[in-house]
Amino acid sequence: MDLLKQQYKLMQSARAALFSYGDTFTLAHFTEDLPMFGGNSIRSLWVHTANTYQFWLGNFAQQQEFPFIKPLFVANLNEVRRVFQEVNSLTEQFLQHFEEKWSEPITGEIPWRKINMQVTPLALFTHVITHECHHKGQIVSMSRQLGYTPPDTDLLRF
């Protein structure tokens, strides 16, 4: 659906703003585990977000094999950008594949819960983009805790 493609472009734009801001982080701050965020680092949240796209849109919805990415193997922000290039390709494939089937349920296994689940492509797409927005906000909060002053990274920037 063209509307969802436009919505994803807005998400990519907000992500690009966050990546540009991330270029100001030291490598130590990029990888620092913060206790107030469950011991996560900025790097681990970006990698977790990418893993979420790959699981739901790739593994679950399209039965493609995407391996789990471990944050320790993503050394810097340029590698995060590379991972998100793959996420962008996957998301474009997903949007094309389900273009006329947004309300048709997909059934698949949730391995970490050992259950099967039925969900629509529209619900999956909504989940991954809202999930990214949630973690984008956490990354901004983490950066403030580390002493940075974030720019506006919202979907609508002023």
Domains within the chain, CATH numbers bracketed: 2-145 (1.20.120.450)
131 carries a ligand binding annotation: yes
Radius of gyration for the chain, computed over Cα atoms and rounded to the nearest angstrom: 16
The backbone region for 38, taken as left when phi is positive above 0, alpha when psi lies in -120 to 50, beta otherwise, is left
CA 97 to chain centre: 20
Residue 97 marked ligand-binding: no
Secondary structure tally for the chain: helices H, strands E? 6, 2
Q: Structure pTM?
A: 0.94
| pLDDT score at 64 | 94
Contacts of 116 (CB under 8 A, 6+ apart): 107, 108, 109, 110
In this prediction, residue 154 carries a pLDDT of 81
In angstroms, rounded to a whole number, what is the distance separating the alpha carbons of residues 58 and 56?
A: 6
What are the E-state strand segments in the chain? 106-110, 115-119
Low-confidence ranges of the chain (pLDDT < 50): none
